Amino acid sequence: MWVFDRRRIEMMEVVNKAVRGAVEFEKANDLERGRLRELTSPDKWSPPSTGMFKLNSDAAIFKNQQVGLGGIVRDCEGDVLLATCLRIEGSKDAEVAEALSTRHCLQVAVDAGLRNLIVEVDCLKLFNHLSNRKFDPSSFGIIVQDILCIASHCSSISFSHVRRKGNCVAHNLAQLSSSMDGLRVWIEEVPTEVLSSVMADIQVI
């Protein structure tokens, strides 16, 4: 600008413009990567490899200022190791509710002694933050940080994304929490209300 227009620009103005451009570029890339990931993500449940256990979690938002958390852990044969659901008070947005459910289910799994886990969610934002090990100073970011802290106690852990259709059992458990009081954990079984969804997943293996 000085050479061609004889107009001086303050250095901080240049720096700020460069930073804004870099942030916008990164956001655009994240959005595009998210779209590609969503297109390529499976729409049905698939079993983990031998020696690993897959944890699926989901959340349900109820009209009475309550949130349902639900999750299930299965092995390479599709057999259930544990299932859980919990209803909590408070109004949450969908992404925070999803993160709360994953934190709850992962803690239950770790407390049960499961240390080789694939954590699968249908919330793309949550998957991106967990797989990139990134969090920000927000309610959502703090919960992500908690999840990663719990994950550090695992021998082997990875994160995967599945479309909502492939996360039916966890979703049904989250919905089921509306009729349950307090924390529920089932070991090597599931409540009858979600048994048909579990069997449907096994049939596609």
The DSSP symbol for 192 reads G
CATH 3.30.420.10 matches 53-203: yes
Using CA of residue 63, residue 66, residue 67, residue 69, what is the dihedral sign?
A: negative
* Averages of pLDDT over each 10 residues, the chain, 205 residues: 76 75 61 54 92 98 94 97 97 94 98 98 97 91 97 97 96 97 96 96 79
Q: What are phi and psi of 191, to 5 degrees?
A: -65, 150
pLDDT at 6: 76
- Report long-range pairs for 125-133 (Cβ below 8 Å, ≥24 apart): 125/34, 125/95, 126/95, 126/98, 126/99, 126/102, 127/37, 127/159, 127/160, 127/161, 128/30, 128/33, 128/34, 128/37, 130/102, 130/159, 131/158, 131/159
pLDDT at 67: 97
pLDDT at 36: 53
pLDDT at 25: 64
Sheet harboring 184-187: ordered strands across?
Answer: 156-161, 116-121, 53-62, 66-74, 80-89, 184-187
pLDDT at 134: 87
pLDDT at 112: 97
pLDDT at 182: 92
Tell me which residue of 55, 197, 200, 60 sits closest to 114, measured CA to CA. 55
pLDDT at 121: 98
Q: Is 174:70 a contact under the CB 8 Å cutoff? A: yes
